[in-house]
Amino acid sequence: MPTLAEVVAALDRAYDPAWAADWDAVGLVCGDPDAQIDKILFAVDPVHATVEEALDVGSDLLVTHHPLLLEGVHGVAATDPKGRLVHRLITGGCALLVAHTNADVASPGVSDALAGAIGLRELQPLAPDPSEVWIKLVAFVPTSGADALVHTLAAAGAGAFGAYDRCAWLMTGEGTFRPRHGANPTIGAVGTVERVGETRIEMVLPGARREAVVAALRRTHPYEEPAFDLFRLDRSVAPTRGTGRIGRLDAPVRLAELVRHVAAVLPGTAAGVRATGAPDTVVSTVAVCGGSGGAYAELAREAGADAYVTADLRHHIVSEVVERSAGKPELQPPLALIDVSHWASEWPWLPVVAERLRADLAIGGTTVDVRVSEIVTDPWTQLSPADGSQS
């Protein structure tokens, strides 16, 4: 029987907490790392129903996708609904662990499970994790300032490889420009063509350092308008982590068929599945994002998806996607949006993480009983077609 600390370590290997978004709250919410763990329940939401289920079946640990305490709290008194859940868990001897955005971006992660349920193949991240994208910065600076700029860019995260840092490639040449009226040039005068000995600096940086490096460049570069380019590098290893996935169906299907298929393969909810687009549209490339993925709809279109499956799609996002293609033959057929229950879009990950954890602990020589909650915690419980018959 593993300790809670061993279970947490196994989950952290698959869903590194360092991958979580800055605003997120992942990891252990309550529980003693030395406690022995025999039974684990997996659920999307840490709510009354799943906490009671965990206690009813004798779980020592409840693993949820959504955080219980996302906002800062000053206490967990049982008079507060969330504090009451913490009390129930602690007095019932059950720990709570959250794997949220760290599980979203993992490979395989939450959206891989959604894509797998739908039957997509050749999956790639829809929005690759910036830390897996590499960028080459090319900047031009008066030669006298080249060393100082390389130093500053390196301090911001450019030019680091393995045991080496401050790696840069430099070449000197000549830059020329003419300051126009209103300019405040560091070198030269308004209206006069200037020639300056400049150094071309090339440095590679991880995508996650992009903003810091560009800010450092603008801060340090002597010119009012520094000249620089950023190139995304085509690495031999394609990024695997990131938000959402895009892949292909085994064979093209009509949109209406895909909508029915999505409704059939996801766990049932009252709110069901709704979609935009003409039912006869042929679909072969599909993007998905477990949870609220409205922000990635445009990315799905640019990536060449015929349809995009996600949850919590808002009126304005959907309307804008539909309107963007209206009356433009070159943008037909428009990206079809398929809106599913937030809970249902993330539930397919639960059996995956449960089995993965069980197998990982078994390799280490310990066994646990894993169980997936089937309680529907989608808060929408009723649906009535609005036919306007009395309006």
Residues binding Zn ion (CB under 5 A):
291
Q: Tell me the closest approach of the beta carbon of residue 245 to Zn ion, in angstroms.
A: 15
Ranges of H-type helices in 227-273: 255-265
Question: Which of 4, 98 has the CB closer to Zn ion?
Answer: 98
Question: Which of 220, 341 has the CB closer to Zn ion?
Answer: 341
Cα–Cα dist 345/148, whole Å: 50
Q: Tell me the closest approach of the beta carbon of residue 345 to Zn ion, in angstroms.
A: 8
What are 379-388's contacts with CB under 8 Å, separation 24+?
Answer: 380/269, 380/270, 380/271, 380/341, 381/270, 382/270, 383/270, 383/271, 383/272
Q: Tell me the closest approach of the beta carbon of residue 21 to Zn ion, in angstroms.
A: 12
**139 and 149 Cβ atoms separated by less than 8 Å:** yes
Please work out, in degrees rounded to the nearest 5, the angle formed at the alpha carbon of residue 231 by the alpha carbons of 227 and 233: 155
Cα–Cα dist 26/109, whole Å: 15
Q: Tell me the closest approach of the beta carbon of residue 346 to Zn ion, in angstroms.
A: 5
Question: Which of 175, 291 has the CB closer to Zn ion?
Answer: 291
Half-sphere exposure of 173 (CA within 13 A, CB side): 8
Q: Tell me the closest approach of the beta carbon of residue 100 to Zn ion, in angstroms.
A: 7
**379 and 341 Cβ atoms separated by less than 8 Å:** no
Question: Which of 47, 137 has the CB closer to Zn ion?
Answer: 47
Question: Which of 6, 104 has the CB closer to Zn ion?
Answer: 104
Q: Tell me the closest approach of the beta carbon of residue 375 to Zn ion, in angstroms.
A: 16
The residue sitting closest to Zn ion, measured at its beta carbon, is 291
The helix or strand, by DSSP H or E, that contains position 270, with its residue range, turns out to be none
Question: Which of 70, 167 has the CB closer to Zn ion?
Answer: 70
